[in-house]
């Protein structure tokens, strides 16, 4: 079953000759990389979301496997809460690392979307068994109750849209940083590093049914990877210069990674 709906009129979209169309003749071209831009309000060529450099840096870092344990646990969760052939949605998929990891291991119909065309283009270039589209989380162009399991990692949370797109017995899996996430990096950046508060997002209409901690020690052995990780964090935007300088001099970084995966079931 195709889950996409027209962002203008809400009618089902169907794929015809490299174009997605609805019954009301709205049409959306499939880009050469294979994704479709369903952000109707924006003109072609607009740059929205992360730029190309950020997208590539994130892709290179994740492809090296530093967060593999998280990808593995997300995949195990999807396996537990959905069955073969069912629809799975990666909400704010970025450049598709986690979508690809799961799609290579599970027999599901995978869909991923993100606001950033640069990110979605990289995801589509992975040539995996998944459909990718550009869309805004505030108005996901996906039919009501059409998704058995969705996952959502490190991106804005939108409980009402999550609740709308997941099936009655469906789940959404999200991740928050655990107490000690990147503590090793923070000890270099700050004189008094604090622990994360593990604050869970407000999720009206969604009931947490499982929490899984994913925690391990990782080592980064080059400046390029340390810098890529730093750029992926909020600390990149508000660290005093002396802390940044200390980090930029590091040839090696040992740090804890610590995540809490939360599985929410849709409340009827």
Ligand X SMILES: C[S@@+](CC[C@H](N)C(=O)[O-])C[C@H]1O[C@@H](n2cnc3c(N)ncnc32)[C@H](O)[C@@H]1O
| Site residues (vs Zn ion, CB under 5 A) | 6, 8-9, 11, 22, 24, 26
Tokens of 153: 């990692």
**Distance of closest approach, residue 25 Cβ to ligand X, in angstroms:** 26
**Residues from 20 through 49 that contact ligand X (CB under 6 A):** 49
Q: Which of 76, 154, 179, 236 binds ligand X (CB under 6 A)?
A: 154
Rama region for 37: left / alpha / beta (φ>0; ψ in -120 to 50; rest): beta
Candidates 20-28, 91-99, 160-168, 256-264; binding stretch for ligand X (CB under 6 A): 91-99
Q: Which of 10, 65, 85, 156 binds ligand X (CB under 6 A)?
A: 156
Tokens of 95: 């450049």
Q: Does 133 bind ligand X (CB under 6 A)?
A: no
Candidates 76-84, 125-133, 147-155, 251-259; binding stretch for ligand X (CB under 6 A): 147-155
Best CA proximity match to 196, nearest among 175, 181, 218: 181
Long-range contacts, 76-79 (Cβ 8 Å, 24+): 77/149, 77/151, 77/173, 77/210, 77/212, 77/261, 77/263, 78/102, 78/106, 78/108, 78/149, 78/151, 78/173, 79/105, 79/106
The CA distance from 105 to 207, in Å, is 27
Residue with tokens 């090296």: 64
Q: Which of 116, 146, 239, 255 binds ligand X (CB under 6 A)?
A: 116
Q: Among ligand X, Zn ion, none, what does residue 114 contact (CB within 5–8 Å per kind)?
A: ligand X
Q: Does 112 bind ligand X (CB under 6 A)?
A: no
**Distance of closest approach, residue 26 Cβ to Zn ion, in angstroms:** 3
Applying CB under 6 A, the residues found at the interface with ligand X are 49-50, 92-94, 97-98, 114-116, 119, 136-138, 153-156
């Amino acid at each position: 079953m195709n889950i996409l709906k027209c962002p203008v009129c809400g009618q089902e979209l169907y794929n015809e000759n490299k174009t997605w169309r609805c019954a009301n003749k709205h049409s959306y071209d499939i880009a050469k990389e294979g994704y479709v831009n369903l952000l109707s309000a924006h003109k072609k060529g607009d740059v929205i979301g992360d730029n190309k450099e950020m997208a590539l840096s994130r892709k290179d870092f994740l492809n090296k496997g530093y967060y593999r344990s998280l990808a593995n646990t997300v995949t195990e969760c999807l396996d537990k809460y959905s069955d073969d052939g069912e629809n799975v949605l990666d909400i704010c998929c970025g450049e598709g690392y986690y979508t690809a990891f799961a799609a290579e291991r599970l027999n599901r119909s995978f869909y991923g979307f993100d606001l950033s065309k640069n990110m979605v283009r990289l995801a589509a270039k992975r040539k995996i068994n998944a459909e990718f589209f550009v869309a805004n989380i505030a108005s996901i162009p996906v039919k009501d109750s059409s998704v058995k399991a969705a996952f959502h990692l490190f991106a804005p949370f939108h409980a009402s849209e999550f609740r709308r797109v997941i099936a009655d017995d469906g789940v959404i899996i999200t991740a928050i940083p655990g107490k000690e996430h990147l503590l090793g990096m923070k000890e270099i950046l700050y004189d008094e590093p604090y622990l994360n508060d593990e604050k869970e997002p407000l999720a009206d209409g969604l009931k947490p049914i499982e929490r899984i901690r994913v925690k391990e020690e990782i080592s980064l052995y080059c400046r390029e990877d340390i810098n890529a990780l730093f750029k992926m964090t909020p600390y990149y935007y508000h660290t005093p210069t002396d802390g940044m300088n200390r980090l930029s001099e590091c040839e090696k970084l040992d740090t804890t990674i610590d995540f809490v995966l939360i599985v929410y079931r849709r409340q009827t």
